[in-house]
Amino acid sequence: MIKVKNYVFKDENLIIRALTHSSYSDNNYERMEFLGDSILDFLVAKYYFKHSNYDEGVLTKMRAHTVSMVNLSQVFDTLHLADLTKLGKSCKSLTKSIKCDMFEAVVAAIYLDSDLKTCENFVFENIFLDNEKSLELLDSKSRLQEYAQKYNFPVCYELISQTGLAHNPTFTVRASMGEFSEVAQSNNKQIAEKQAAQKILDKIEEKT
């Protein structure tokens, strides 16, 4: 029995293939990654369409952030999928790109093993998708960067500390731009950066 989080595979060959690198076998994750990528794009787009009123441009940025290599590789790590991977000797390490692709293949494997609704539940349980305030945070770094470029200010993000257990860390991050400096905490470093960026945007709004 092979289990990923709370999902138990009926056809174990699907998850084995999803986590097999091309350096190990020709029967690998690459075709499944193609399918999983499309499924993820659809499910995340559907979620943001139903749960926000942003225009197409912002929705596109939000979806791109959510399914980015950085985010999906973090989900791969959180699910401890490396424990199930099969790599050939020519593949020295699991890069973020490989982790991202393999997670997409896992999404495809769950879809092929069950149905779209089950796959959707798995995705939404394991990818950061939250309420309206959190949706705003997804684009806060981009909006701060646009403001900084307009006035020729550098933006800096600094990891102050990482505490807690390896599987449940707390990141403390400082965002700085010009005269503004704000700190935020989260169990996801990217989210902490966005929260700190949002705090600076809120301060800018107060002054204008």
The residues assigned a catalytic role are 37, 104
Pull the structure tokens for residue 83: 């424990």
Cα Rg of the chain (Å, integer): 19
> Can you tell me whether residue 20 is helix, strand or coil?
strand
How far, in Å, CA of 121 to CA of 119, rounded? 5
Kindly report the length of the chain: 208
Residue 111 has a CB neighbour count (10 Å cut-off) of 22
Pull the structure tokens for residue 190: 């990217």
How far, in Å, CA of 176 to CA of 88, rounded? 43
Contact (CB, 8 A) for 146 and 152: no
How far, in Å, CA of 175 to CA of 187, rounded? 16
Helix, strand, coil percent content, the chain, rounded in steps of 5: 55, 15, 25
Residue type, 55: D
Contact (CB, 8 A) for 190 and 198: no
